[in-house]
Amino acid sequence: EIVMTQSPATLSVSSGERATLSCRASQSVSSNLAWYQQKPGQAPRLLIYGASTRATGIPARFSGSGSETEFTLTISSLQSEDFAVYYCHQYNNWPPWTFGQGTKVEIK
Amino acid sequence: QAQLVESGGGLVKPGGSLRLSCAASGFTFSDYYMSWIRQAPGKGLEWVSYISGSSSYTNYADSVKGRVTISRDNAKNSLYLQMNSLRAEDTAVYYCTRALGYCSGGSCYPDSWGQGTLVTVSS
């Protein structure tokens, strides 16, 4: 099973600032990596797939990069609606699908 | 736009059973692999099971293997999860998801999620 490790666990950022979230895979997942955003009481929402492709309707301030074992989600200028928990997810090898433990982006 | 609506959650005693349902609309249901993913209170996401469009292929997480059965009815655009011998650690919100990508080749991801249904296992 591929283990996904996200860092940091919590990121405190001011509105308008840049946020950089990291995700590491225990073995190569090629570019088969997705990012999801989850707000309290809501289902996760797909942001990025293929490590760097934005899903339909996702604003350009969200960008993904990386390959193999190291990945990054960048939010270029945080808006109030971006404060949430973000999960990375590898789908290179299923079963099982595996997810990171999440990074909470909170208001500084 | 894909819509997924789960139902069937509730409070059940340890050892009990529950059947979750997911009603799909807005896409050709039979064309897609579907999956269940769960989230324990305050925790992260855990994949539970998947099923191919024709029901030919299914698979389960080790944590539920032998206790859970996934199925679908393409005529009713519905996905199901039969859960038996429930344990306290099965307490979670269960999400129905559609899988996008090359599932038969082993690389697809959940793109659409339902709102979830809460299963609580407690005496």
User: In this predicted model, what pLDDT tens digit does every residue of B24-71 receive, in sequence order?
Assistant: 999 999 999 999 999 999 999 999 999 999 999 999 999 999 999 999
- Shortest distance between the Cα of A48 and any Cα of chain B, in A, equals 10
The per-residue DSSP string of B10-60 comes to EEE-TT--EEEEEEEESS-GGGS-EEEEEE-TT--EEEEEEE-TTS--EEE
> To the nearest whole number, what is the mean pLDDT of chain A?
96
Q: Please state, in angstroms and rounded to a whole number, the distance separating the CA atoms of residues B39 and A95.
A: 18
* A-B Cβ pairs (cutoff 8 Å, strict): 64
> To the nearest whole number, what is the mean pLDDT of chain B?
96
> Which residue of chain A is at minimal alpha-carbon distance from B47?
A97
Q: Do A32 and B35 touch (CB under 8 A)?
A: no
Select the residue of B35, B62, B113 nearest A43 (Cβ to Cβ): B113
Burial environment of residue B72 by CB neighbours within 10 A (0 to 12, 13 to 18, 19 or more): buried
Q: Which residues in chain B are contacts of A101 at CB distance < 8 A? A: 44
> Which residue of chain A is at minimal alpha-carbon distance from B100?
A49
Residue whose tokens read 């925790």: B43
The pLDDT value recorded for residue A16 is 94
Whether B61 contacts chain A with CB within 8 A: yes
Q: Do A97 and B47 touch (CB under 8 A)?
A: yes
pLDDT band at B81 (very low <50, low <70, confident <90, very high): very high
- Shortest distance between the Cα of A74 and any Cα of chain B, in A, equals 20
Select the residue of A43, A46, A89 nearest B95 (Cβ to Cβ): A43
Q: Do A95 and B111 touch (CB under 8 A)?
A: no
- Shortest distance between the Cα of B6 and any Cα of chain A, in A, equals 12
Residue whose tokens read 């919100």: B93
Write the pLDDT tens digit of every residue in B65-77.
999 999 999 999 9
